[in-house]
Amino acid sequence: MSKFSKDSIIGVIGAGAMGSGIAQVAAMAGHNVVLFDTNEAALDKSRVGLEKVLSRLVEKGKIESVASITSKYTYASDLSAFRECSLVIEAIIENLDVKKKVFAEVEHVVSADCVLASNTSSLSVTSIAAACKSAERVLGLHFFNPAPLMALVEVVPAVQSDDAIVQECKALMNEWKKVPVIAKDTPGFIVNRVARPFYGEAIRMMEEGIADAATIDWAMTEIGGFRMGPFTLTDYIGHDVNYVVTETVFQSFFYDPRYKPSFSQKRLLEAGWLGRKSGRGFFNYAEGAVQLEANKDETLGRNIVERIVAMLINEAVDALHLNIASAQDLELAMTKGVNYPKGLLAWCDEWGADKVLNILDGLYNEYHEDRYRASVLLRRAAIGGTKFM
């Protein structure tokens, strides 16, 4: 059971896309919501955006009226508005110093039993919690964008977190009809750690001239069964977001070569070619632009899929080996968080750990790079013929 009730007031810090989305989720789950931002224009934009979304939901018969949800909102530019909140979720810029400052300020305002959560996607929750005198009430609640539509929430205990609070927040996420998974407080948590090769290895193959972006995207969607290819997806996410997460994970893992960013993506960021939002990224989205044609060679396509999927499986297996999450939560995270066609551990069982190991060892023997080192748990499974699921 959750300690939270429908009478619990939920506070959200940051009226950007993510904060606004989280506030909407809470309001539609029946809570009164306080949405805070120091920028009045951001609050106005959030209010207008919410009314548009709610109007569409009324048209679809999903809610009775716009007012049934907007009446639950309080828009605030003063932290004192959080005084009656039972839970405050921070969703601001991914900057550790800024987050720590905000948490320290909020703690002075809220009640002693108010839970404080960060929506950080890649920063240390433990470090954020350390800014608070009552660090045991701090944890990570990482929603995925857009929060009202994406089911997954990574629940991330800090080293200091009270386990009872963690379990209560997990129960609350279930009440909000989300799919919560528990992730250890390590860089990237589950999704942003395990998914790195989907982008990184695809870019590496493009840089080496093995295949162009259109061909790799064709292979991963048509043969691999992914909803989007890696280049289409990074253009959709935006390189200002995707590259920065990669760089953050790489640095946080003490420069482990498995997470090494690419110069190709960094140059797109430097050029301001951020993807769809700017009209150009790996692909050109200008009207009338000539698009690349994929080379639909089946053998090439299968090789592309096997290389990227083997790298993804290895990350999932290694996360299991290091107790980042349970096998079930790892599978849920990758299918519900990034819509993979199947869980990576199940995919490994389907292929056989020996096949995955052979692909990785072949790459390691060819490149002699730690990027391709196989997890010891994968090696054990291949030798023992064991399955993960």
In this prediction, residue 3 carries a pLDDT of 79
* Biggest alpha carbon–alpha carbon distance for the chain: 63
Residue type, 264: S
**Across 344-370, average pLDDT:** 98
pLDDT per residue as tens digits for the range 110-139: 999 999 999 999 899 999 999 999 999 999
**Topology of domain 9-182, CATH:** Rossmann fold (3.40.50)
> Does the pLDDT of residue 337 top 90, yes or no?
no
Average pLDDT, rounded, for the chain: 96
Least confident of 76-80, 244-248, 321-325: 244-248
- pLDDT, residue 191, reads 96
Query: Percentage of residues in the chain with pLDDT exceeding 90?
Result: 96
Q: Which pLDDT value is given to residue 330?
A: 98
pTM for this entry:
0.95
The 10 Å Cβ neighbour count of residue 321 is 13
Where are the strands (E) in the chain, listed by range? 9-13, 33-36, 73-76, 85-90, 115-118, 138-143, 152-157, 179-182
Percentage of residues of the chain with pLDDT beyond 70: 99
Cα distances from 211 to residues 261, 304, 307, in angstroms, run: 19, 8, 13
**Span 95-107, pLDDT tens digits:** 999 999 999 999 9
CA distance 348 to 160: 35
Helices (H), 190-262: 191-194, 196-208, 213-218, 230-237, 239-252
The strands making up 152-157's β-sheet, listed across from edge to edge, are 73-76, 33-36, 9-13, 85-90, 115-118, 138-143, 152-157, 179-182
CATH number for the domain formed by residue range(s) 193-384: 1.10.1040.50
92: pLDDT confidence band, cut at 50, 70 and 90? very high
Which residues are known catalytic residues?
121, 142, 154, 192
Structure-block tokens of residue 295: 């080379």
Q: What is the mean pLDDT of residues 335-344?
A: 94
Q: Give the 3-state secondary structure percentages of the chain, helix then strand then coil, rounded to 5.
A: 55, 10, 35
Per-residue model confidence (pLDDT) at position 1: 47
Res 73: pLDDT: 96
For the segment 365-375, the average pLDDT, to the nearest whole number, is 97
Q: In the chain, where does the domain assigned CATH 3.40.50.720 lie? A: 9-182
User: Three-state DSSP class for 44?
Assistant: helix
Closest CA to 123 of 260, 256, 257, 252: 252
Give the mean model confidence (pLDDT) for residues 79-101: 96
Tell me the pairing of strands 152-157 and 33-36.
unpaired
| 151-170 pLDDT per residue, tens | 999 999 999 999 999 999 99
Listed in order, the ranges of the chain carrying CATH 1.10.1040.50 are 193-384
Q: How far apart are CA 310 and CA 304, in angstroms?
A: 10
> Which of these, 159, 156, 144, lies nearest to 183 by C-alpha position?
156
Q: What is the pLDDT of residue 2?
A: 60
pLDDT one-digit tens code per residue, 16-72: 999 999 999 999 999 999 999 999 999 999 999 999 999 999 999 999 999 999 999
Reported as half-sphere exposure (CB side, CA atoms, 13 A), residue 278 has a value of 18
pLDDT for residue 122 = 82
